[in-house]
Structure 1
Amino acid sequence: MGSDQALQMLADVLWNALIISGPLLAVTLAVGLLMSVMQVITQIQETSLTFIPKIIAAVLVLVVCGAWMLKRLVAFSVNLIGAIPGYF
């Protein structure tokens, strides 16, 4: 395996990790930001107030996008494992 193949494989891994985790991270970031703004406006400084909505949002995103995330991960893994003989 050459260094160009290894770098391409690393780039593919990082790109797929970003695409798969993107929706979950974006939604939890948006909910966390919204809850922080609400805490500043209402001056309620309760720590559990930020965690519970983020957990609920993360579960909802996983319910909605979980099948797509799993399909993408399985397809990438199958392609990667199938290409192992070509690396040597």
Structure 2
Amino acid sequence: MNEADALDIMRNAIWTVLIASGPAVLAAMVVGVTIALIQALTQVQEMTLTFVPKIIAVMVAIALSAPFVGAQISLFTNLVFSRVQSGF
């Protein structure tokens, strides 16, 4: 394995992390902005109001996107193992 292979693996690792965390982060962001808008419109400034809906949205997003995320991580794992195997 040379430097180009190591950089390619790192690039793929970063991309896999972004893809795997994307659904949960996107769900938290959408729910957070929506609740912030509702709080601004109603002038209810309770800080704990955002936690429960965000947690529920993130759990639902993780449950719905688990097969996709698992497949992406599996593809990355196969890539790394194939690079290690061909390197020796």
Q: Which residue of 2 aligns with 1:49?
A: 49
Distance in 1 of aligned mates of 2:19 and 2:36: 26
Identity of aligned residues (%): 30
Q: Which residue of 2 aligns with 1:70?
A: 70
Q: What amino acid does structure 1 have at the position aligned with 2:81?
A: I
Q: Which residue of 2 aligns with 1:79?
A: 79
Cα RMSD, aligned residues only:
1.4
Q: What amino acid does structure 1 have at the position aligned with 2:86?
A: G
1:23 aligns with 2:23: yes
Q: Quote the offset at 1:36 in angstroms.
A: 0.9
Q: Which residue of 2 aligns with 1:3?
A: 3
Q: What amino acid does structure 2 have at the position aligned with 1:46?
A: E
Structure 2 alignment gaps of length 5 or more: none
The structure with higher relative contact order (CA 8 Å, sep 6+) is 2
Distance in 1 of aligned mates of 2:19 and 2:40: 32
Q: Quote the offset at 1:7 in angstroms.
A: 1.0
Distance in 2 of aligned mates of 1:74 and 1:4: 22
Structure 1 alignment gaps of length 5 or more: none
Is the partner of 1:73 in helix, strand or coil?
helix
- Does structure 1 conserve the Cα–Cα contact (< 8 Å) formed by 2:35 and 2:50? yes
Q: Quote the offset at 1:44 in angstroms.
A: 1.1
